[in-house]
């Protein structure tokens, strides 16, 4: 199977995602189906728009077709550590304000991912008005940016929402411009149902890996409804086996929470611990004390899907969705599920009521009465 390396690419004053792989007609055909996919002679690679939705679409498209080496995070961290947030195509004043905004976000302890997302979104916005001073930008300019950049390029509503968040926060905290922030409209959110697997499919996936570490990681995601980052940030001390609890520290929204952990899962973790003896993180990479990478756990899941012969574009988050839905189907109160998942709003949790098998099966179609 061919290998594709994906990493950040700055091309023609725009942030892109570079796709590096040997010539392969089938992969090229697939890449061309992605929005705004282009070939760069300068960089000798295909490249696509740098958005979360586009990245998700790329992984879904290449599922089972190629092995993906994701170097986005590592390359960006290296770039930022070497040159701060130096931006080509921006004036010195705008670069200074970007740096000031980054320092403010850091001081407020925003997560690294959020900082990178906000800085990138604001950079795109300021580059669009490169011939205009920041203090001259007004509410009408933001509407123009939405129409002529975001909508014209087919960017998603979630990306537009990120840009709105960044702009609002920037003008509120850094730039003393009398801009009517309350008039900056947000796009209507897409209402998508969570992807849920059957218990039989879950069992097939969890039983697929022969490697004890891989099996334990996937099992823990489903057994406790974890996000990917929450799994990788676990430490051995976060397992309270006597109280049958797993402590999740500083999850999404900087919140700690505890979830119950079964005897079966504890026994699996004990067997794993005796075999690997992790020092710092519960799940470590090839080097002792090194945190397991996001790309590696993605590859573990991909291999499990191949072995289990499941053709669906399953992601780790599907296991979390399935955990919540199966809890609801077994009679667990929705308020408890909200706490277990770490949802801030009950509305987020209520979406699982739309996909529970038992609730849907109770509905009788009028067709049956004909």
C-beta of residue 126 within 8 angstroms of C-beta of residue 134: yes
User: Within a domain: residue 84?
Assistant: no
User: Do 242 and 294 belong to one domain?
Assistant: yes
User: Do 308 and 351 belong to one domain?
Assistant: yes
User: Within a domain: residue 129?
Assistant: yes
- pLDDT value of position 210: 92
The pLDDT of 45-57, averaged and rounded, is 84
Domain boundary among 75, 102, 126: 75
User: Do 49 and 136 belong to one domain?
Assistant: no
Confidence of residue 357 (pLDDT cuts 50, 70, 90): low
- pLDDT value of position 140: 81
User: Do 211 and 337 belong to one domain?
Assistant: yes
Domain residues for 271?
Answer: 199-360
Of 18-27, 73-82, 95-104, the poorest mean pLDDT is in: 73-82
User: Do 216 and 291 belong to one domain?
Assistant: yes
129-139 confidence digits (pLDDT tens): 887 887 788 77
User: Within a domain: residue 368?
Assistant: no
- pLDDT value of position 62: 87
- pLDDT value of position 85: 45
User: Do 64 and 152 belong to one domain?
Assistant: no
Structure tokens at 260: 């119950």
254-292 confidence digits (pLDDT tens): 678 888 898 999 999 999 999 999 999 999 988 888 889
User: Do 250 and 299 belong to one domain?
Assistant: yes
Confidence of residue 211 (pLDDT cuts 50, 70, 90): very high
User: Within a domain: residue 47?
Assistant: yes
Which residues form the catalytic set?
227, 252, 317, 320, 343, 352
**How many domains, the chain?**
3
Q: Which stretches within the chain are classed as H helix?
A: 25-31, 52-62, 72-83, 92-107, 112-128, 139-145, 157-173, 199-207, 212-224, 228-232, 263-276, 294-308, 316-329, 334-341, 346-350, 357-361
User: Do 207 and 356 belong to one domain?
Assistant: yes
User: Do 208 and 346 belong to one domain?
Assistant: yes
Flag whether the pTM goes above 0.85.
Answer: no
User: Within a domain: residue 231?
Assistant: yes
Domain boundary among 134, 152, 183: 183
Q: How many CA atoms lie within 13 A of 234 on its CB side?
A: 26
- pLDDT value of position 200: 92
- pLDDT value of position 25: 83
- pLDDT value of position 74: 66
DSSP per position, 98-164? HHHHHHHHHHTT--HHHHHHHHHHHHHHHHHTTTS-GGG--HHHHHHHIIIIIITTT--HHHHHHHH
User: Do 355 and 306 belong to one domain?
Assistant: yes
Beta carbons within 10 angstroms of residue 123's beta carbon: 22
User: Within a domain: residue 227?
Assistant: yes
- pLDDT value of position 144: 85
Look up the CATH number of the domain holding residue 279. 1.10.443.10
User: Within a domain: residue 192?
Assistant: no
- pLDDT value of position 182: 58
User: Within a domain: residue 110?
Assistant: yes
* Higher per-residue confidence, 322 vs 186: 322
- pLDDT value of position 231: 92
User: Do 205 and 176 belong to one domain?
Assistant: no
Confidence of residue 22 (pLDDT cuts 50, 70, 90): confident
Domain boundary among 131, 157, 183: 183
User: Do 204 and 320 belong to one domain?
Assistant: yes
């Amino acid at each position: 199977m061919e290998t594709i390396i994906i990493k950040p690419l700055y091309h023609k004053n725009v942030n892109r995602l570079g796709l590096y792989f040997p010539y392969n007609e089938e992969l090229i055909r697939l890449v061309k189906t992605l929005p705004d996919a282009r070939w760069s002679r300068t960089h000798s690679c295909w490249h696509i728009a740098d958005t979360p939705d586009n990245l998700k679409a790329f992984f879904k498209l290449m599922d089972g077709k190629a092995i993906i080496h994701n170097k986005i995070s590592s390359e960006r961290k290296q770039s930022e550590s070497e040159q701060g947030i130096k931006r080509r195509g921006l004036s010195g004043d705008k670069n200074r304000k970007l740096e000031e905004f980054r320092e403010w976000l850091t001081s407020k302890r925003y997560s690294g991912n959020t900082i990178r997302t906000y800085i990138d979104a604001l950079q795109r916005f300021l580059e669009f008005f490169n011939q205009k001073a920041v203090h001259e930008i007004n509410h009408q300019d933001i509407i123009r940016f939405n129409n002529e950049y975001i909508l014209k390029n087919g960017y998603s509503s979630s990306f537009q929402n990120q840009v709105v968040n960044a702009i609002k926060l920037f003008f509120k905290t850094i730039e003393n411009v009398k801009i009517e922030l309350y008039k900056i409209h947000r796009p209507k959110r897409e209402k998508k149902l969570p992807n849920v697997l059957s218990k039989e499919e879950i069992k097939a996936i969890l039983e697929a890996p022969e490697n004890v570490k891989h099996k334990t990681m996937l099992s823990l995601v489903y057994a406790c409804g974890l996000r990917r980052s929450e799994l990788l940030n676990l430490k051995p001390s976060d397992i309270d086996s006597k109280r049958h609890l797993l402590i999740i520290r500083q999850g999404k929204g900087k919140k700690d929470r505890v979830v119950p952990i079964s005897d079966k899962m504890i026994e699996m973790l004990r067997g794993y611990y005796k075999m690997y003896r992790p020092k710092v993180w519960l799940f470590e990479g090839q080097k002792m004390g090194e945190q397991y990478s996001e790309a590696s756990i993605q590859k573990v899941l991909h291999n499990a899907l191949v072995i289990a012969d499941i053709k669906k574009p399953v992601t780790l988050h599907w296991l979390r969705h399935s955990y919540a839905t199966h809890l609801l189907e077994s009679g667990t109160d929705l308020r408890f599920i909200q706490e277990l998942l770490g949802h801030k709003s009950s509305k987020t949790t209520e979406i699982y009521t739309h996909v529970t098998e038992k609730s849907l099966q109770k509905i009788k179609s009028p067709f049956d009465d004909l």
